Amino acid sequence: MSKTTVDYHPFFAMVSEDAVPTFFVLDYGKDKFRYTDNPRSLLLRSISTADSYVRKGYAFKALTLLPEYARNKFPNVIEIVLDVNRRNVHVQKLYEKAEFKKQENTYVGRCGEQFIYRKIVG
């Protein structure tokens, strides 16, 4: 990660000792307040899947494991929030399949309009 902060927490979705198809960065800091006013939320800052694993279900599986991981690592967290660029329809469908709910409010980021998603985990 290019930015070092104690609020960032990596999450690796491993399939074997030498394969990490999907990687998340969770953020427990103040940036989450762009998406929610809930202090008991966690921001899913980024998600990345290695090219050779794209569209093979690894990101979805990792997203389904994420709530349990969040509850164990951050016991006071009750929701996960994130944003998706409005043009990234494929990723929007992935989050919706993983039961993240699109919120009515949006915001304009560096790359245009961003949809906000949330999932209750606690």
Read off the pLDDT of residues 27-44 as tens digits, 9 standing for 90 and up: 999 999 999 999 999 999
Residue 2 located in a structural domain: no
Number of domains in the chain: 1
∠60-79-48 over CA atoms, to 5°? 35
φ, ψ of residue 93 in degrees (nearest 5) = -65, -35
Q: Return the pLDDT at 19.
A: 78
Does the pLDDT of residue 15 top 80, yes or no?
no
Average pLDDT of every residue of the chain: 89
Q: How far apart are CA 74 and CA 90, in angstroms?
A: 29
Residue 3 located in a structural domain: no
Range of the domain at 49: 8-120
Helix (H, G, I), strand (E, B) or coil at 76: coil
Span 57-113, pLDDT tens digits = 989 988 998 999 999 999 999 999 999 999 999 999 999 999 999 999 999 989 999
Q: How far apart are CA 43 and CA 118, in angstroms?
A: 9
Q: Tell me the CATH number at 55.
A: 3.40.630.30
Q: Work out whether strand 41-49 and strand 79-85 pair parallel, antiparallel, or are unpaired.
A: parallel
Count CB neighbours of 95 within 10 A: 23
Residue 1 located in a structural domain: no
Q: Residue 122: pLDDT band by 50, 70, 90 thresholds?
A: confident
